């Protein structure tokens, strides 16, 4: 089954109001690549501005709280993201799992909250360097996938991003063979869990994707797109990745 390519920018904690124009340039140029779904996940503070600047474009959060509202100072809920105009959110990024102690159960609850609020989800998984070096990467990631997935979900509204922690922001990338093996293993585990829906769900690769390596990484087996950090902050760096997605079958 053909899955549309999906290229998502994760701006992390970057971007003030002057970055809205850059997002407008990205979304404007992305229209030249109708075969690729493009989304940007700016900081919460810019979601409304990006939605206003590029109506109809896919703008997302980088995280959400599992509860719809309540006494959680500093947090943002999934219904709040939707209310601001977001149509998706990332959950379970390693910078949340590691930096904020989020467990698989926490990530599952966030994914379920996002889906319940009508958002699509990009659920992140990935192994630390020591586990990759010990040969345990696939087992580690499959535990994360099984523990973080909602009990029930529409596979058209959930994507999984495989992001080896050691590849994020480092310029290091796994071999194409390792990416294909990981994605193939994730899809096989999904088949066991949800049957035919596993062929619909998109699997993204993330970690030091740039215009030079995107065609190779996005061309690996079972890779349906990319989750991009640093190279998503400017149109000049992000659009070559979108173009690479468009050039693939």
List active site positions: 93, 163
Taking the least distance from each CB to ligand PGA, the nearer of 23 and 227 is 227
Tell me the CA distances in angstroms from 82 to 68, 76, 77, 128, 170, one per residue in order: 11, 11, 9, 32, 32
Question: Does residue 169 bind ligand PGA (CB under 6 A)?
Answer: yes
- By CB under 6 A, name the one of 10, 57, 144, 213 that touches ligand PGA: 10
Question: Does residue 150 bind ligand PGA (CB under 6 A)?
Answer: no
Q: What's the gap between Cα 155 and its chain centre?
A: 14
Question: Does residue 163 bind ligand PGA (CB under 6 A)?
Answer: yes
Residues 6+ apart with CB under 8 A from 206: 10, 124, 126, 161, 162, 163, 167, 168, 226, 227, 228, 229
**CB-CB contact of 141 with 99 (8 Å):** no
Which of the stretches 113-121, 128-136, 145-153, 206-214 binds ligand PGA when contact is defined by CB under 6 A?
A: 206-214
Question: Does residue 228 bind ligand PGA (CB under 6 A)?
Answer: yes
Collapsed DSSP state (helix, strand, coil) of residue 90: strand
**CB-CB contact of 206 with 173 (8 Å):** no
Question: Does residue 230 bind ligand PGA (CB under 6 A)?
Answer: yes
Which of the stretches 17-25, 66-74, 200-208, 237-245 binds ligand PGA when contact is defined by CB under 6 A?
A: 200-208
**Residues that bind ligand PGA in the complex, under the rule CB under 6 A:** 10, 163, 168-169, 206-209, 227-231
């Amino acid at each position: 089954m053909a899955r549309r390519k999906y290229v998502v920018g994760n701006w992390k904690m970057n971007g003030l109001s002057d970055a809205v124009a850059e997002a407008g340039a990205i979304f404007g140029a992305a229209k030249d690549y109708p075969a690729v779904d493009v989304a940007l996940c700016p900081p919460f503070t810019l979601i409304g501005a990006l939605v206003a600047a590029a109506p109809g474009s896919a703008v997302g959060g980088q995280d959400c709280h599992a509860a719809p509202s309540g006494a959680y100072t500093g947090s943002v809920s999934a219904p709040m993201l939707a209310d601001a105009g977001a149509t998706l959110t990332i959950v379970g990024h390693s910078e949340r799992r590691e930096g904020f102690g989020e467990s698989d159960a926490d990530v599952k609850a966030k994914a379920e909250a996002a889906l319940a609020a009508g958002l699509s989800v990009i659920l992140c998984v990935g192994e630390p360097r020591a586990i990759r070096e010990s040969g345990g990467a696939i087992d580690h990631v499959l535990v994360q996938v099984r523990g973080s997935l909602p009990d029930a979900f529409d596979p058209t509204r959930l994507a999984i991003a495989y992001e080896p922690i050691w590849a994020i922001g480092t310029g290091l990338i796994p071999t194409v063979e390792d990416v294909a093996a990981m994605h193939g293993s994730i899809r096989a585990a999904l088949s066991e869990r949800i049957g035919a829906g596993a062929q619909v769900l998109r699997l993204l690769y993330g970690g030091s994707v740039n215009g030079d390596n995107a065609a190779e990484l996005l061309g690996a087996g079972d890779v349906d797109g990319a989750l991009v950090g640093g190279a998503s902050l400017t149109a000049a760096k992000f659009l070559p990745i979108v173009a690479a997605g468009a050039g693939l079958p």
